[in-house]
Structure 1
Amino acid sequence: MSPALLPVALAVLSLSAQAANIYTCVSAKGQRITSDRPIAECLDRSQELRNTDGSVKQVVPPAMTAEERASHEERLRQEMAAASAQRDAIRLDRNLLSRYPDEARHQRARKAALEPLNTALAATERRLAELAHGQKRLQEEAEFFKGRELPRDLKNKFGQNQVTLQAQQDAGQNHLAEIKRINTSYDQELTRLKRLWAGAAPGSFSLSASSSAAR
């Protein structure tokens, strides 16, 4: 072999030898793992570095204690969660901008979301007025029996009217609570959108105000 080629040949042989190294270990879950590089799952335990013939070339000591490994995994978990939250924030902000390019579009969406609830609330209020009027008529009818026991039919009417009145009052409270929830959601969206319309980068602030974008 030409002397000039000898260094190149030695370098190739060295790289080949490195590539032939095989790391093996048994993980904390009892799994035997093999890799051509140090094994992340076994950082807290010894790893065997074997030759191509299976013989042990070297025993690599643990890179981390169990406590260090747990801390390392927790940091990785937190970093992954933060990265996932950031991606979600960017996606939600882009969805908001696509859905609401301006404030007028957002106001129309709010109005459309509230319209069926406002209609239902108005109907409930009319029904409550009718029931209140019916209650007054029943009370006037009961005046004829002052000092005496009310007829069973009249008692039943009082009871039915009261049950229906309570049901309508509950429905009205539910409508009001849902109207408040929707308005709060749109208010949070609008605050976020104003910052985005002003040029803030999607995902540049907290996810909390954009959670309603998933509606």
Structure 2
Amino acid sequence: MQAQPAQQQANPAGIFSCVDASGRTITSDRPIPDCLDREQRELNSSGTVRRRVEPSYTAREQAERDERARQAQIAASRQIEERRRERALLMRYPNDAAHERDRTEAIGQIDAVIQSARKRQGELGEERKKLDAELEFYRNDLNKAPPSLRRQVEESNQSIAVQSRFIGEQEDEKKRVNQRFDDERVRLKQLWAPEVIRK
């Protein structure tokens, strides 16, 4: 069995090089202690870069580095999600007419609910007028009215209050829906612009 040439047997270590905090270029046949806080390059004998050695960090520095990487990843994920939402928005609303049509339909549904609630509110008002007419017999003094009438008045008060609250909630929902469509339209106007490059 032939012996391997000495040049093939040898596996010389690389040369480490870095620029320290003072701006000096330092070289060594092993990792350089003065450059542990910065990147070092390990060079081949030909002078080409064999590998890059990452800086060594303290536990606190590593934690800060990890946190920055985590925040960057979160920001990138948010950007991807925002692009996804924009594409979905454009598919749903390719133009202003489609967006306004959806707004009109959404507001129309709420208006129908409010109209129905107001009708019920009117019915409750008519029922209350009958109860008030009965109360006149007792000089509008509930304490003098019979228990059945007092109960009906209390139930009427509760029903009227619930109906009024429900109508108010629907009016608030109508404002929220309009605001959502307004906000969408602002974004869509930017996305509809021909100069926008969609990725």
**TM-score bracket for this pair, using the shorter chain length:** 0.5 to 0.7
TM-score under structure 1 length normalisation: 0.63
Cα RMSD for the two superposed structures: 3.1
Distance (Å, rounded) in 2 between the aligned partners of 1:114 and 1:86: 31
CA pair 202-187 structure 1, distance change in 2 beyond 3 A: farther
Distance (Å, rounded) in 2 between the aligned partners of 1:166 and 1:69: 60
TM-score under structure 2 length normalisation: 0.68
Distance (Å, rounded) in 2 between the aligned partners of 1:162 and 1:61: 75
Runs of 4+ with >6 A deviation = none
Equivalent in the alignment of 2:90: 97
Equivalent in the alignment of 2:190: 195
Q: Any unmatched runs of 5+ in structure 1? A: 1-5, 19-42, 45-59, 204-215
Equivalent in the alignment of 1:82: 75
Number of corresponding residues: 155
Alpha-carbon deviation of 1:153?
2.2
Aligned runs of 1:1-215 on 2, under 5 Å? 10=8, 63-146=56-139, 149-198=144-193, 199-202=195-198
CA pair 61-85 structure 1, distance change in 2 beyond 3 A: closer
CA pair 181-202 structure 1, distance change in 2 beyond 3 A: farther
Does the 8 A contact of 2:132 with 2:140 survive in 1? no
CA pair 104-14 structure 1, distance change in 2 beyond 3 A: farther
Structure having greater relative contact order (Cα 8 Å, sep ≥ 6): 1
Distance (Å, rounded) in 2 between the aligned partners of 1:79 and 1:201: 23
Q: 2:110 corresponds to which letter in structure 1?
A: L
Distance (Å, rounded) in 2 between the aligned partners of 1:109 and 1:146: 54
Distance (Å, rounded) in 2 between the aligned partners of 1:106 and 1:89: 19
CA pair 77-137 structure 1, distance change in 2 beyond 3 A: same
Which of these two proteins has the greater Rg computed from alpha carbons?
2
Q: Any unmatched runs of 5+ in structure 2? A: 15-35, 38-52
Distance (Å, rounded) in 2 between the aligned partners of 1:119 and 1:202: 38
Identity %: 34
Distance (Å, rounded) in 2 between the aligned partners of 1:89 and 1:14: 52
CA pair 14-193 structure 1, distance change in 2 beyond 3 A: farther
